Homo-oligomer: A and B are copies of this chain.
Amino acid sequence: MDLDFQISKREKLSDQLYGQLLEKIVSGELKEGYKLPSENEISRAFNVSRPVIREALLRLQADGLVYSRQGAGSFVKARPPESLIKFTSPSDISGLLRCFEARLPLEGAAAALAAQRATEEEVETIRKTLVAMEEAMEKGEIADKADFDFHMAIANATGNEFYVSILGTLHTAMRSGMRVALNITKAGSKQRMRKVQEEHRTIYDAISLGDVTAADLAMRYHIQSARTRLMNHQRDI
């Protein structure tokens, strides 16, 4: 069994191909409804093997950017906001989305445990990180540190050190994802900024009231919404 927990070469190549196809979708070269080049064409154009192409296409599908129709090929489904590739390298996007994917069940469960077990002191720490984040956003700053602190304060309040270690493992990727998301939020409307703040406040409220179901839902809804804001340019919400 491989205990070298690194991304494999195939994954790296497919992330690069993913990034290149993503750029074409974002730029509008491949418009919504357009058919993607066939595996043969991609293979010739990018000089990559079939498994790499399949992995890139599957990820584009999993990320909601393309869909496939039996026997007819793959088609563009949605066009992410241009700001998506303004704030990060296109070949990093797929990795950022995988980080959101892993955080969803993990942090949902952490918020539920925090709602059950947080001491008054721990609730107060969560509140302080929330206020720090709100204040930084009001000043127009990219509040990725305060954002991470908020999520880590919740992990701490689970009373389960493994949640804290795991967030430590995800620290770099989480901060990158938060930076991109917060940059897109900043580039958007005031209403969008309020929505992001509202999502964090709803999580805090549920934890402070000890509402386990609401805390779990609010956290997972927030992570899912952050992911949607990254990938969907149609609505500024």
Contacts and interface: CB of A to CB of B under 8 A. Distances in A.
Given A2-B156, A70-B71, A149-B1, A166 B224 contact: no
Interface in A184-226: 198, 205, 209-211, 213-214, 217-218, 220-221, 224
A210 B67 contact: yes
A78 to B, nearest CB: 7
Interface of A: 1-3, 5-7, 11, 55, 58-59, 62, 64, 67-68, 70-71, 77-78, 95, 98-99, 101-102, 104-106, 108-109, 113, 117, 129, 148-149, 152-153, 156, 159-171, 173, 198, 205, 209-211, 213-214, 217-218, 220-221, 224, 228, 235, 237
Given A129-B1, A210-B67, A102 B217 contact: no
A167 B237 CA distance: 30
A141 B173 CA distance: 39
B228 A224 contact: no
Nearest to A167: B5
